[in-house]
């Protein structure tokens, strides 16, 4: 992909984060799913958990960055829409490591990343927000050098890691969001935040477009749109649903010795 096209994709992706009409991302895990999603969606984003599982690894930066980079290159070459990548914590605990990883992903054609503050030293734990802010600054500087207006979606994990009561989690997420906004983030991603009233308050507390991930108990998209959410991610659930269907179909064939409705060759 040439730099001009990549920057056009970056601008288009940024414009999709609209108040009242959020960007809904049906997350991909390989080139085949990216191509299927791109037929009806204006953008493609990966789920790190789904990508790792498809490659035979556990989530949490266990899938080698070389493999992720190769996937990004194949994916961006295969779909005519912007591609955003879940880069986990930046594949390293330092700002320099995150910048290096982001540069590789950018050179592979991506125009957006998620970068999370709940993984350090291979453990699920909240890092110092100032440290995460330095990662964001370094990634932003790298993207600017490469001439791409990278959309940095800063993920914060107080709810996911049960920092405290819902009120304490909300306040901590809002505090971190302000730090990450000052560091150059473009969006804030809060997995585990599911209560509509808290989501609405969080939207009001942060200067960044809010990204909610679909989990059990998350309100309908229309309700999220009404309270100002600008991005909704389905995360690993599409892959889990697909694997469930495949498992059921395989079991049906094994039991019945028939193709089954799902597998009719001429269907």
The rounded distance, in Å, linking the Cα atoms of 243 and 99 is 34
Q: So what's the pLDDT on residue 265?
A: 61
Same domain, 229 and 242: no
Same domain, 13 and 65: yes
Task: Decide: 163 and 126 in contact? Cβ < 8 Å.
Answer: yes
Q: So what's the pLDDT on residue 261?
A: 72
Same domain, 242 and 158: no
Give the count of domains, the chain: 2
Q: Which residues, including other chains, have CB under 8 Å from residue 147's CB and lie 6 or more apart?
A: 3, 7
Task: Decide: 160 and 194 in contact? Cβ < 8 Å.
Answer: no
Task: Decide: 88 and 62 in contact? Cβ < 8 Å.
Answer: no
Tallying the residues shown for the chain, one arrives at: 267
Same domain, 31 and 143: yes
The rounded distance, in Å, linking the Cα atoms of 45 and 26 is 7
Same domain, 169 and 68: yes
Nearest to 23 by CA among 186, 142, 135, 143: 186
Task: Decide: 231 and 210 in contact? Cβ < 8 Å.
Answer: yes
Same domain, 195 and 218: yes
Same domain, 77 and 189: yes
Residue-range definition of the domain harbouring residue 265:
238-267
pTM of the predicted model as reported, rounded to 2 decimal places: 0.95
Residue 123: give its domain's CATH number.
3.20.20.60
Same domain, 157 and 254: no
Same domain, 154 and 60: yes
- For residue 117, CA distances in Å to 79, 123, 127, 136 come to 30, 11, 6, 10
What percentage of the chain's residues is helix, strand, coil (to nearest 5)? 50, 15, 40
Helix runs in the chain, H state only: 3-15, 31-38, 48-55, 65-78, 95-107, 129-146, 166-183, 196-205, 221-226, 237-256
Same domain, 242 and 113: no
Question: Please, what are the averages of pLDDT over each run of 10 residues along the chain (267 residues)?
Answer: 94 97 98 98 98 96 97 98 98 97 98 97 94 98 97 98 96 98 98 97 97 95 98 97 93 87 64
β-pair partners for 116: 155
Q: So what's the pLDDT on residue 1?
A: 83
Same domain, 170 and 74: yes
Same domain, 209 and 264: no
């Amino acid at each position: 992909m040439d730099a001009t096209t990549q920057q056009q994709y970056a601008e288009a992706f940024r414009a999709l984060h609209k108040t009242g009409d959020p960007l809904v991302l049906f997350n991909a895990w390989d080139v085949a799913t990216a191509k299927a999603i791109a037929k009806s969606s204006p953008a493609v984003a990966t789920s790190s958990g789904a990508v790792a599982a498809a490659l035979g690894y556990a989530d949490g930066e266990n899938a080698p960055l070389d493999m992720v980079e190769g996937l990004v290159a194949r994916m961006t070459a295969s779909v005519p829409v912007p591609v955003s990548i879940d880069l986990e914590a930046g594949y390293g605990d330092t700002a320099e490591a995150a910048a290096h990883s982001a540069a590789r992903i950018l050179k592979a054609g991506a125009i957006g990343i998620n970068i999370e503050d709940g993984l350090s030293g291979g453990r699920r734990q909240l890092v110092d927000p100032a440290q995460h802010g330095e990662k964001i600054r370094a990634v932003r500087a790298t993207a600017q050098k490469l001439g791409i207006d990278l959309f940095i979606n800063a993920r914060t994990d107080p709810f996911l890691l049960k920092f405290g009561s819902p009120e304490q989690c909300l306040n901590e997420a809002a505090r971190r969001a302000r730090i990450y906004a000052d560091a150059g983030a473009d969006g804030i991603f809060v997995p585990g935040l599911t209560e509509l009233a808290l989501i609405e308050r969080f939207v009001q507390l942060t200067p960044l477009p809010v990204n909610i991930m679909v989990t059990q108990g998350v309100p309908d998209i229309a309700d999220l749109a009404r309270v100002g959410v600008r991005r909704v991610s389905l995360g690993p659930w599409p892959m889990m649903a697909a694997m469930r269907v495949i498992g059921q179909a395989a079991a049906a064939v094994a039991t019945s010795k028939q193709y089954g409705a799902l597998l009719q060759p001429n269907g």
